[in-house]
């Protein structure tokens, strides 16, 4: 069968990165499970985990071991069935350890790109740089006799462009995982106008087998997720610039971040989220989008300013947050970077004056972590936004126009032909960004 | 020769909290109290209640699998750690799977009968949250025949009793049986809410029956049981003192503080054999018959029972094995509320294994402590009324799948 044949020899580029390691994990488990279901040994399949950094590949293998073990402990009932004919594996512990070894043994870590030259399937999760991706794709495609299929994890670069520049003849599709891939349910699938149908069917089947929530996006820079997120950042920055006529720049940053997190009931403030994703990554994506949307300026001088001073955010290999616009202690914002003084300063005095400006929290307000637990939360949210609308504080007014803008961005994605529907936009924001509600709604 | 040649009493009972999921203080990510902590807490409480270790002649520890759960065997040698007064006195550990506690009690009874001791401190202990449940299942599977482990379920014992439940479903009907299971669970939790040491003491679920009736999920757990049909993983210890009349006198403990063991039964079945009939607990039936006969009473004389409901199906089958319901009628007997605290025969008045908890090696001792509390009026909010017409208590402690059984009959000492 084509599906299993394609999953018999796989390469992952950028395997040791945050996205790559998750893709390796999910794919290796899927490959192993296919083997077990067919009664084959996992020795018969290979996943080449390719990364430029040898030490990072060491970290990848440790990460894989711990995650596969956790997974195995949850599916032991099934594992005992798969290993029923091996008389040496008696206790759960025996079975679990064997499974971990079997899955790990199909992953071959390497720093050499040549390992991808006999792969049937190539996942790509390298940096969001079109030149780098094109170079890798074309060198693999030229040296690989099997016409491999490419699944790119790009979150912004049009697939057709990669296809044409690398000469892949439609053997490429956008297969965009959200961070972290092993946890996040959302999968944005982006076929280009030339993506071959077999590859499209394969990608859909794979995403389903990985138990992902699939949203199909059209092949336009930024797709749905970043199409929303980048415009959201740019709007937030413009609000900061407006506010900084009345207060210091860092106070304005604080105010917009807080309003976007607390008043809009999101898991993170907009600048906190930029730190989480990485300011460098955001700028890369904006550049890709800016160059491809002729009628729209998608740039942020403010973010570039941080970047020039080496303020990048992003995460360490263990998932902890690097310093960005904010500094974090145990996940809490404790300092903020002052662009003028070029140093971090204590958040407390900034918060104090910022909170005074914002005013009271809205009536019926509940934090995101509470709201997200309510299954049918529409009425709760309606009531909340109704209360927000009727407030006369500066915080509430900022929040209302922010929410309205978010709705506009959502609709624009449909009007521009990026998303098929506002429902798709809402699914991406609630599933991929963990928002408590979709941006296109009737709450205001 | 079942008749006791000497009067045997129990006094100075104590239960630690049963710790595990459901208790606020339980946090598996932190270092949790170990064997030493629980043995000390329980042992010292009982020793203090009899006026000091000078009154204790011997110690017996009931424990199932500390050698695997905690990499620690040789628990008898921990007794002098509990109290220096126990140094150089006899102590030993006994094991019989989940009946270890009951067997430890019987070992204490035998020492007093043999007149080598007037007071024996009996401690039951297990600390099993030391590993994840999926590995703990391997350890607990040691209560079955290891040759059968390979073909058994990942959760071995839930798998064994799921098979029993499946057989019961086939014979008497699935919905009918599950109604009984659900009521059993509801009783267990409601009783546990009255007992501060119970693992489910803080359980706030409103609709217990609905929860209990959640469909079993064979791909993640067993075919016929869900997790609410099962006792949880528990850490804890219980202790009690087995005494002769002389022993009580020496320690100046009035009879009103004691219960008397008036009957006992112990039965063993071949661990290498499959049960003759999956819908019967025949070894349990035999041990209860022995105990009632030796006490010279019938089930109509019983005020309360502590029985081994490691699974709801075990509770239902036990009601049939003891004789309260005919074969196939146990589920109805339970569903009609006859085993609730206000029913015909209050069973497991502090929650039993499902509600109070099941620190495996401690359970047999915990049962004795609970009956002692009920018969001497020390059960607090969980106290039931004990009438003069029906003054007896019964405990039924089971090891493995109906393999090692200890049944004891108690009455308030006079």
DSSP secondary structure of B312-376: HHHHHHHHHHHTSS-TTTHHHHHHTTTTSTTSSS-B-TT-HHHHT---GGGHHHHHHHHHHHHHT
- Chain B nearest CA to A90, separation (Å): 5
| Res. B228 pLDDT band, cuts 50 70 90 | very high
| Res. B195 pLDDT band, cuts 50 70 90 | very high
* pLDDT per residue as tens digits for the range B377-399: 999 999 999 999 999 999 999 99
**For chain B, what is the domain count?**
1
Q: In this structure, is residue B359 part of a structural domain?
A: no
Q: What are the backbone dihedrals phi and psi of residue A337, each rounded to the nearest 5 degrees, phi first?
A: -85, 125
What does the pLDDT average to over B372-377?
Answer: 98
Report how far residue A133's alpha carbon sits from residue A119's, in angstroms, rounded to the nearest whole number: 17
Identify the pLDDT of residue B44: 98
Identify the pLDDT of residue A295: 87
Of B134, B146, B219, the CB nearest to A92: B134
Q: In this structure, is residue B381 part of a structural domain?
A: no
Query: Does the beta-carbon distance from A93 to B135 stay under 8 Å?
Result: yes
| Res. B64 pLDDT band, cuts 50 70 90 | very high
Query: Does the beta-carbon distance from B218 to A92 stay under 8 Å?
Result: no
Query: Does the beta-carbon distance from B134 to A77 stay under 8 Å?
Result: no
B220 neighbourhood in chain A, CB within 8 Å: 74, 77
Identify the pLDDT of residue A317: 67
Quick check: A73 contacting B, CB < 8 Å?
yes
Identify the pLDDT of residue A366: 94
Of B138, B149, B219, the CB nearest to A77: B219
Of B132, B154, B221, the CB nearest to A80: B154
Identify the pLDDT of residue A328: 95
Closest CA to A257 of A268, A246, A242, A244: A268
- Chain B nearest CA to A69, separation (Å): 12
Q: In this structure, is residue B308 part of a structural domain?
A: no
Q: In this structure, is residue B242 part of a structural domain?
A: yes
Q: Which domain holds residue B62?
A: 8-132+233-256
Q: In this structure, is residue B108 part of a structural domain?
A: yes
- Chain A nearest CA to B308, separation (Å): 26
Identify the pLDDT of residue A444: 87
Query: Does the beta-carbon distance from B149 to A90 stay under 8 Å?
Result: yes
CATH at B52: 3.40.47.10
Q: In this structure, is residue B57 part of a structural domain?
A: yes
Query: Does the beta-carbon distance from A77 to B221 stay under 8 Å?
Result: yes
Quick check: A98 contacting B, CB < 8 Å?
no
Of B132, B153, B221, the CB nearest to A73: B132
Average pLDDT of chain B?
97
Nearest CA in chain A to B159: A77
Q: Which residues of chain A have a pLDDT value below 70?
A: 1, 317
Lowest mean pLDDT among A360-374, B293-307, B313-327: A360-374
Q: In this structure, is residue B31 part of a structural domain?
A: yes
- Chain B nearest CA to A87, separation (Å): 7
Q: Using H for helix, E for strand and C for coil, what is the string for chain A? A: CHHHHHCCEEEEECCCCHHHHHHHHHHHHHHHHHHHHHCCCHHHCEEEEECCCHHHHHHHHHHHHHHHHHHHHHCHHHHHHHCCCCCCCCCHHHHHHHHHHHHHHCEEEECCHHHHHHCCEEEECCCCCHHHHHHHHHHHHHHCCCCCEEEECCCCCCHHHHHHHHCCCCCEEEEEECCCCCCCCEEEEEECCCCCHHHHHHHHHHHHHCCCEEEEECCCCCCCHHHHHHHHHHHHHHHHHHHCCCCCHHHHHHHHHHHHHHHCCCCCCHHHHHHHHCHHHHHHHHHHHHHHCCCCCCCCHHHHHHHHCCCCCCECCCCCECCCCEEEECCEEEEEEECCCCEEEEHHHHHHHHHHHHCCCCCCCCCHHHHCCCCCCHHHHHHHHHHHHCCCCHHHHHHHHHHHHHHHHHHHHHHCCCECCHHHHHHHHHHHCCCCCCCCCCCC
Query: Does the beta-carbon distance from A96 to B134 stay under 8 Å?
Result: yes
A88 neighbourhood in chain B, CB within 8 Å: none
- Chain B nearest CA to A270, separation (Å): 33
Residue of B148, B150, B227 to mutate when probing chain A, most A C-beta within 10 A: B150
- Strands A343-346 and A332-338, bridge-based pairing: antiparallel
Q: In this structure, is residue B37 part of a structural domain?
A: yes
B154 neighbourhood in chain A, CB within 8 Å: 76-77, 79-80, 92
A78 neighbourhood in chain B, CB within 8 Å: 219
B134 neighbourhood in chain A, CB within 8 Å: 73, 76, 92, 96
Query: Does the beta-carbon distance from A74 to B221 stay under 8 Å?
Result: no
- Chain A nearest CA to B134, separation (Å): 7
């Amino acid at each position: 069968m084509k599906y299993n044949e394609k999953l018999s020899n796989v390469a992952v580029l950028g395997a040791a990165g945050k996205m790559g390691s998750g893709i390796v994990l999910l794919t290796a488990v899927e490959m192993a499970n296919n083997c077990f279901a067919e009664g084959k040994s996992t020795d018969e399949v290979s996943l080449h985990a390719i990364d430029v950094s040898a030490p990072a590949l060491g970290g990848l293998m440790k990460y894989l071991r711990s995650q596969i073990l956790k997974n195995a402990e949850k599916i032991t009932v099934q594992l005992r069935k798969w290993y029923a004919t091996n008389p040496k594996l008696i206790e759960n512990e025996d079975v679990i350890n064997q499974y971990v070894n079997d899955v790990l043994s199909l992953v071959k870590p390497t720093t050499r790109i040549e390992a991808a030259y006999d792969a049937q399937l190539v996942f790509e999760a390298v940096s969001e740089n079109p030149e780098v991706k094109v170079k890798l794709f074309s060198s693999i495609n030229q040296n690989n006799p099997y016409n491999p299929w490419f699944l790119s994890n790009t979150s912004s670069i049009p697939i057709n462009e990669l296809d044409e520049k690398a000469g892949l003849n439609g053997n490429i599709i956008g297969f965009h995982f959200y961070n972290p891939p092993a946890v996040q349910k959302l999968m944005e699938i982006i076929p280009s106008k030339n993506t071959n149908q077999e590859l499209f069917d394969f990608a859909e089947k794979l995403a389903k087998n990985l138990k992902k929530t699939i949203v199909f996006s059209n092949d336009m820079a930024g797709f749905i997720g970043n199409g929303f997120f980048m415009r959201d950042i740019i709007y937030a920055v413009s609000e900061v610039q407006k506010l900084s006529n009345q207060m210091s720049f860092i106070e304005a940053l604080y105010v917009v971040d807080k309003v976007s997190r607390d008043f809009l009931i999101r898991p993170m403030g907009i600048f906190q989220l930029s730190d989480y994703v990485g300011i460098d990554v955001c700028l890369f994506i904006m550049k890709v989008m800016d160059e491809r949307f002729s009628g729209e300026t998608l740039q942020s001088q403010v973010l570039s300013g941080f970047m020039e001073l080496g303020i990048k955010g992003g995460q360490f290999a263990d998932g902890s947050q690097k310093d960005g616009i904010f500094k974090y202690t145990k996940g809490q914002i404790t300092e903020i970077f002052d662009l003028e003084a070029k140093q971090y300063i204590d958040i407390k005095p900034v918060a104090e004056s910022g909170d005074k400006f914002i005013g009271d929290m809205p009536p019926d307000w509940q934090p995101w972590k509470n709201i997200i637990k309510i299954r049918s939360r529409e009425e709760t949210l309606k009531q909340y936004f109704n209360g927000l609308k009727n407030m006369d504080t500066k915080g509430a007014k900022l929040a209302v126009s922010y929410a309205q803008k978010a709705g506009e961005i959502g609709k624009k994605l449909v009007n521009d032909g990026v998303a098929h529907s506002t429902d798709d936009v809402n699914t991406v924001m609630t599933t991929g960004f963990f928002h408590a509600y979709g941006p296109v709604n009737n709450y205001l | 020769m079942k008749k006791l040649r000497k009067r045997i009493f129990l006094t100075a009972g104590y239960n630690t909290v049963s710790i595990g999921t459901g208790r606020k203080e339980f946090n598996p990510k932190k270092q949790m109290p170990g064997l030493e902590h629980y043995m000390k807490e329980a042992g010292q409480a009982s020793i203090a209640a009899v006026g000091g270790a000078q009154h204790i002649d011997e110690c017996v520890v009931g424990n199932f699998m500390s050698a695997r759960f905690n990499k620690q065997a040789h628990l008898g040698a921990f007794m002098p750690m509990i109290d220096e007064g126990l140094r150089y006195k006899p102590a030993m550990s006994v094991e019989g799977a989940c009946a270890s506690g009951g067997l430890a009690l019987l070992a204490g009874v035998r020492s007093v009968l043999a007149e080598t001791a007037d007071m024996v401190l009996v401690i039951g202990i297990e600390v099993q949250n030391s590993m994840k449940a999926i590995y703990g299942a391997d350890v607990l599977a040691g209560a079955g025949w290891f040759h059968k482990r390979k073909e058994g379920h990942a959760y071995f014992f839930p798998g064994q009793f799921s098979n029993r439940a499946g057989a019961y479903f086939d014979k008497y009907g699935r919905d009918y049986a599950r109604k009984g299971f659900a009521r059993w669970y509801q009783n267990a939790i409601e009783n546990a809410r009255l007992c501060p040491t119970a693992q489910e003491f803080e359980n706030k679920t409103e609709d217990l029956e609905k929860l209990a009736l959640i469909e079993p999920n064979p791909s993640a757990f067993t075919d016929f049981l869900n997790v609410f049909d099962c006792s949880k993983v528990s850490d804890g210890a219980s202790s009690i003192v087995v005494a002769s009349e002389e022993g009580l006198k020496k320690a100046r403990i009035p009879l009103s503080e004691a219960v008397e063991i008036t009957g006992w039964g112990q039965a063993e079945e071949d661990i290498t054999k499959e049960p003759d009939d999956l819908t019967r607990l025949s070894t349990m039936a035999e041990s209860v018959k022995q105990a009632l006969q030796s006490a010279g009473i019938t089930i109509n004389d019983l005020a309360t029972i502590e029985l081994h409901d490691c699974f709801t199906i075990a509770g239902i089958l036990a009601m049939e094995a003891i004789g309260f319901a005919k074969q196939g009628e146990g589920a109805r007997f339970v569903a009609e509320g006859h085993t609730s605290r206000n029913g015909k025969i209050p069973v497991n008045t502090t929650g039993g294994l499902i509600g109070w908890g099941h620190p495996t090696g401690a359970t047999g001792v915990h049962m004795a402590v609970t009956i002692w509390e009920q018969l001497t009026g020390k059960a607090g909010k969980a106290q039931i009324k004990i009438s003069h017409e029906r003054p007896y208590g019964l405990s039924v402690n089971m090891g493995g799948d109906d393999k090692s059984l200890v049944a004891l009959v108690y009455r308030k000492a006079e």
